[in-house]
Amino acid sequence: MIFLFFWVGVVVSKKSNSGKIFENTALMCAIVVTLIFLSMSGKLYDFYMEKAYPKSEIYGAWVEQDVASYAADIFMLNKSGVIIKGKIVTTKYDWDGASLKYHLGDKVRRFKVKKNEPDFMEIQLISEPHYKPIFRLAK
């Protein structure tokens, strides 16, 4: 960005005064429009993802399956974020209808949807190389 302003200054300084004003104005308008477009495209994509795959469909407690109840890993998802043992561990998570991802400290936990039926939903942890438990949504 700084390079662009330096380059504009060099080019404009070599032109006449009337051409300099027009070119400078046109270039600044183009830069502003580009920045607005870039910032809006990210927001539009986020808006689309929220409408296409609402996070509310995965709200609830996720319970690890096929382990003793006292040893089961449980986490909750809601509009506040990811909650583990009663504490919010992150406020941001990604959901695209087929996978779930959130950061837990310096680790990234990734899940993929195993089954998505009207009565229940299952996801499988895929970010751990040797242990891939299945979690079921308990609504």
Rg, the chain, Cα only: 24
pLDDT of residue 12 exceeding 80: no
pLDDT of residue 111 exceeding 80: yes
Percentage above 90 pLDDT, the chain: 49
Measured N-to-C along each axis, helices 17-52 and 2-13 cross at an angle, to the nearest 10 degrees, of: 160
Helices (H) and strands (E) in the chain, counts: 2, 9
What integer best gives the mean pLDDT of the chain? 84
Percentage above 70 pLDDT, the chain: 85
pLDDT in tens, 13-64: 555 566 688 788 888 888 888 888 888 887 777 777 777 878 888 999 999 9
